[in-house]
Amino acid sequence: MPHKLPRGLYALLDDSVRPALPMVEKARAVIEAGVGVLQLRLEQTPDRVALPLIREVVALARPSGVLVIVNDRVDLALAGGAHGVHLGADDLPVDVARRLLGPDALIGATTRTLADIEAAKALGADHVGLGPLFTTSTKQVAHAPLGLEVFGAIARSSPLPVVGIAGITLETIGQVAAAGAWCAAVAGDLLNSGDLVSRARALQGAFSSSR
């Protein structure tokens, strides 16, 4: 199972953003666009619906080698055959998730500081989400935005690949890449666009050209 996080756009597929568009269609679009990794954030989706959905997306992604990560839920990631999980501060600890998911699973952890990143690495994380970078309307965050300068200083010193998260758009993703991000997680700017395939490709291109 692949375990290295591919660089570039990290497509954050949130069931609360543009809910009228089915999650499978969101996933199909970013897979068609050639995105290397997508995360399923299924906070509004009951578990009995989420599990077959994860399995369907994993099956869709398999021929292209796209990695599928489940937000928060180690149990759903394991049962759904996903490549890994992303853990917030209130979720299972990274070391517990590692024991459950095994050595090849991708495990990311939400962090705010360099000390957080070092702690996540010690527990067995593969990469971290660092933020919030900018203000965002996609998810309530009780922390002030880091801004590019602070984000860049942390990213350049990080012992793990850093995924920039929160409020990233096509206009700013290049700056995030230039600041030292390994990936840039995008939800609203991607999912609210008229053409998800074209937007995903544009986001990926802007990231790659600014690294």
Q: What's residue 77's pLDDT?
A: 98
Contact 73, 58 (CB under 8 A): no
Q: Which residues of the chain fall below pLDDT 70? A: 1-3, 137-142
User: Which residue matches tokens 């996609």?
Assistant: 138
Is residue 48 in some structural domain?
Answer: yes
Q: At what angle do helices 23-33 and 47-61 cross, to 10 degrees?
A: 20
Is residue 2 in some structural domain?
Answer: no
Q: What's residue 140's pLDDT?
A: 59
Instruction: Please report, for the domain that includes residue 68, its CATH number.
Output: 3.20.20.70
Contacts of 183 (CB under 8 A, 6+ apart): 5, 6, 7, 8, 9, 10, 37, 127, 161, 162, 163, 164
Containing 187, the helix (H) or strand (E) segment is none
Q: What's residue 73's pLDDT?
A: 97
Q: What's residue 16's pLDDT?
A: 95
Shortest CA distance to 39 belongs to which of 154, 17, 48, 112? Answer: 17
Is residue 195 in some structural domain?
Answer: yes
Is residue 184 in some structural domain?
Answer: yes
Contact 147, 126 (CB under 8 A): no
Angstrom distance (rounded) from CA 194 to CA 138: 18
Tokens coding 36: 């290397």
Is residue 24 in some structural domain?
Answer: yes
Is residue 1 in some structural domain?
Answer: no
Q: Number of structural domains, the chain?
A: 1
The tens digit of pLDDT for each residue in 75-115 reads 999 999 999 999 998 999 999 999 999 999 999 999 999 99
Is residue 3 in some structural domain?
Answer: no
Could you tell me the residue range of the domain that residue 187 belongs to?
8-210
Q: What's residue 143's pLDDT?
A: 73
